[in-house]
Amino acid sequence: MKKTDTILKKLFKRKELQTILFIFFLICILVKNNNFFKNSFELIYTNYESRLQSTAYGFCEIPGHEYSKNLGTGYIFFIKDKFELKKIPIIKDFNISPNQRWVFQDYDEINKKKIIILNNLDNDGSPKFKLNKYKILHNHKNNCLFLEKND
């Protein structure tokens, strides 16, 4: 028993072990605070387009980045891919933001029958855009809509 005690004391007196333990605990704290495992999982199992739509471009709600707050560009990309749009729909944004037509940079023709509504809800939850003359093709929490004009 005495022999193991002296071995342990020698190990704990060494600065090398203290340095290694310090680095180990520092790495553990950084891994936990930065959600390393969760972020790695999402990076591996979520495709690139979905990650851009939800965080970098914003998807009609507050994403992780302040600069893309409520822009809705991710929603436009989603609609463009899901409905395989070949013409530019009318884009109506109720927030102050830059023109979103750059998403359709390869297209020239405008489709006046289809419209994308961004940030449709007021602070009290009431819609800003009247849907009487439109058929709803896609609805995201009543805040972003993809509509088609009724004939």
Mark whether 74 and 139 lie in a shared domain: yes
pLDDT digits (tens, 9 = 90+) for 73-83: 888 988 999 99
Rounded to whole angstroms, the Cα distance separating 113 from 135 reads 10
Is the pLDDT score of 148 beyond 90? yes
Contact 147, 135 (CB under 8 A): yes
Q: Are strands 88-93 and 134-140 parallel, antiparallel or unpaired?
A: unpaired
**Domain check: are 37 and 95 in the same one?**
no
What type of residue sits at position 93? D
Complete DSSP assignment for 77-144: HHHHHHTT--SEEEEEESS-----GGGGTT---EEEEEEEEES-B-TTS-BSS--TTEEEEEEETTTE
Domain count along the chain: 2
137 and 64 assigned to the same domain: yes
DSSP state of 73: H
Q: pTM for the full model?
A: 0.69
Q: Specify whether 117 is located in the same domain as 84.
A: yes
Does pLDDT of 141 surpass 80? yes
Predicted local confidence at residue 120, as pLDDT: 85
pLDDT in tens, 5-45: 666 666 566 677 788 889 999 999 999 999 999 989 988 99
**Together in a domain, 50 and 35:** no
- Asked whether residue 131 falls in the same domain as residue 99, the answer is yes
Distance of CA 128 to the CA centre of its chain: 24
